[in-house]
Amino acid sequence: MQTIHPVRPDAAGPRVETTRVPAPLLDDAERRQLDRWNESRRHYPRDISVPALVSAQAAAYPHAPALVMGAQSLTYGELDRQSSLLARRLRALGVTRDVPVGLLLRRCPGMVVGALAVLKAGGAYVQYGSVKGREQPRRV
């Protein structure tokens, strides 16, 4: 139950009590349709790595958008190419299986390219958060 008070405390008039009854925004058929549209669960094979899934998507749909952030975007082909180039550079620098690689980037397509490149190189990426600012990389 909700009590409605006058706008001004000294305003004349009785207090009016009302009861809120929530009205459904969708009927049952609309709710079922919305549930069907929102069904996005996918089963991925557990024996395929994330880099392999991205590469397969890039081969099948190279011009499809993979990442969009405001005005910045990358297609699957661009994401795969850029991450492969960076992965080669990381391997040349000594990144191998399970070597931790720190990433200190703001949220942007480059962050995804970097993380994917580390995985392609065989490393393990460590995402530095902006919560602790510049102090976190100095402690590592």
Report whether pLDDT(4) > 50: no
Supply the pTM of this predicted model: 0.65
Q: Domain 47-140 falls in which CATH fold?
A: Rossmann fold (3.40.50)
Task: Tell me which of 10-14, 28-32, 50-54, 76-80 is least confident.
Answer: 10-14
DSSP letters for 57-98? HHHH-TTSEEEEETTEEEEHHHHHHHHHHHHHHHHHTT--TT
Most confident range (mean pLDDT) of 44-53, 57-66, 104-113 is 57-66
What's the pLDDT tens digit per position in 75-106?
999 999 999 999 999 999 999 988 899 888 77
Total Cβ atoms within 10 A of residue 114: 23
pLDDT value of residue 22: 59
- Which pair of structure tokens corresponds to residue 21? 């009854």
**What confidence category does residue 123 fall into, taking pLDDT thresholds of 50, 70 and 90?**
very high
- Yes or no: say if 96 and 123 are a contact pair by the CB < 8 Å rule: yes
Q: Three-state SS for 140?
A: coil
- Domain edges within the chain: 47-140
DSSP letters for 104-134? ---SSHHHHHHHHHHHHHT-EEEEPPSTTTT
Report whether pLDDT(52) > 90: yes
Q: CA quadruple 74, 78, 81, 85: dihedral positive or negative?
A: negative
pLDDT value of residue 9: 47
Rounded to whole angstroms, how far apart are CA atoms 89 and 84?
9
- Yes or no: say if 91 and 67 are a contact pair by the CB < 8 Å rule: no
Q: Which residues pair with 74 in a beta bridge?
A: 67
